[in-house]
Amino acid sequence: MKINPVRRKSALDCAIDAIRSYILDNRLQPGDVLPPETELARELEISRNILREAMRHYRTLGIIDSKPKLGAVIVRLVPENPYAGYQPFLAAGENSLRELFEMRSSLETGAAPFLVRAVTPETLASLGEIVDEMRREKREEHFTALDMRFHTELLHAMRNRILDGLLPFVIGFFYELRKEKIARGWKRKPRREILEEHRAILAALERRDAAGLAAEIARHNEVYFNILKIGG
C-alpha cells in the first residue's frame, strides 16, 4: 500500500491558514476591522513581512481591503472573483471549453426554479430596460456588453453570494471567447434573433414559468455548441 508523505507547509501557507482561522474563530463580518499589523503579527506569532504577504493573498481575493485611518477591514467573506487568475490556464487546457460550457449551461438552466421565486419587479423592470437598450444600440461592442449585463443581472436576481463570485467566470469568459471567434470569422446569430431570445427569457421570468425559462435559456445558449463545433 502506497502512503503519501506528509508535506511541510511554508511559513506563508501557515500564515494564510492562521489569518483564515483568526477571521472565522472571531466570527468577523464585513465591516469589521482587523488588529493593527504589529499586534496581529504578534498574536499569530509570525513576522510582519510574512503577515504582509499573507494579507496580500486575502486582498487579491477581495476579502480584505485597506481603509484610511482604519487599517485592514473585512470587505466580504466570499471571494468576489475566485477564478480570475486561472482563466487563461483553464482556456488552454484540453477539453476545458467543453467543461466550462457544461458548467455555465448547468448553472443557468438549473437556476430557473430559484429565479422565478426570487426575482423582484425591480429586476424585471431593469432587465426590460436592458433589452430596450439592446434594440436601440447600433455599436457591436456596446450591444455585446448589454448582452453580458443582461445575463449577469439575471443571475444576480438569485441574491446568492457564491454564485455571484462565479459570474465573471461563467458569463464574462464566454463573451471574451465569442468576441475572439467573431474576430476570426465566426458568424454570430443575427441581432433580431438574439433580441427575440432575450425577450422570451424575460417573458418566461415574468410568468414565473420555471420550465419555460430553463428551455429559453438553453435555446439561447446553443450558440456555444456552435463555437465548440468549430474548434473552440
Report whether 82 contacts 60 (CB < 8 A).
no
Q: State mean pLDDT over 155-173.
A: 82
* Predicted confidence (pLDDT) at residue 79 exceeds the cutoff of 90: no
Q: State mean pLDDT over 109-133.
A: 95
Mean pLDDT over each residue of the chain, to the nearest integer: 83
Pairing of strands 71-74, 64-67: antiparallel
Apex 225 CA angle, 179 and 83, nearest 5: 60
Residue 150's pLDDT band (cuts 50, 70, 90): very high
Calculate the CA 218 to chain-centre distance.
19
Q: Can you give the pLDDT at residue 62?
A: 84
Encode burial over 191-215: b for 16+ CB neighbours within 10 A, e otherwise: eeebbebbebbbebbeeeebebbbb
Q: Can you give the pLDDT at residue 181?
A: 64
**Which pTM value belongs to this model?**
0.68
Both ends of the chain: CA-CA distance in Å? 42
In this predicted model, what pLDDT tens digit does every residue of 172-231 receive, in sequence order?
A: 776 766 666 666 666 677 889 999 999 999 999 999 999 999 999 999 888 766 655 544
Q: Which three cell numbers stand for residue 190?
A: 443575427
Cβ atoms within 10 Å of 43's Cβ, excluding its own: 11
Q: Which residue has better confidence, 77 or 186?
A: 77
Distance between CA atoms of residues 220 and 153, nearest Å: 16
Q: State mean pLDDT over 103-121.
A: 91
Report whether 151 contacts 168 (CB < 8 A).
no
Encode burial over 155-164: b for 16+ CB neighbours within 10 A, e otherwise: bebbebeebb
Q: Can you give the pLDDT at residue 9?
A: 73
- Reported as type and span, the H/E element at residue 51 is helix 48-60
Residue 32 has, within 13 A of its CA and on its CB side, a CA count of: 13
In this predicted model, what pLDDT tens digit does every residue of 93-110 receive, in sequence order?
A: 566 667 777 888 888 899
DSSP letter assigned to residue 187: P
List, in order, residues 6 or more apart from 205 with CB less than 8 Å away. Answer: 115, 116, 119, 124, 127, 154, 213
Residue 69's pLDDT band (cuts 50, 70, 90): confident
Q: Structural domains in the chain?
A: 11-74 (1.10.10.10), 84-229 (1.20.120.530)
Q: Which residue has better confidence, 12 or 92?
A: 12
**Which CA distances in Å does 63 have to 74, 81, 98, 122?**
6, 10, 31, 29
List, in order, residues 6 or more apart from 106 with CB less than 8 Å away. Answer: none
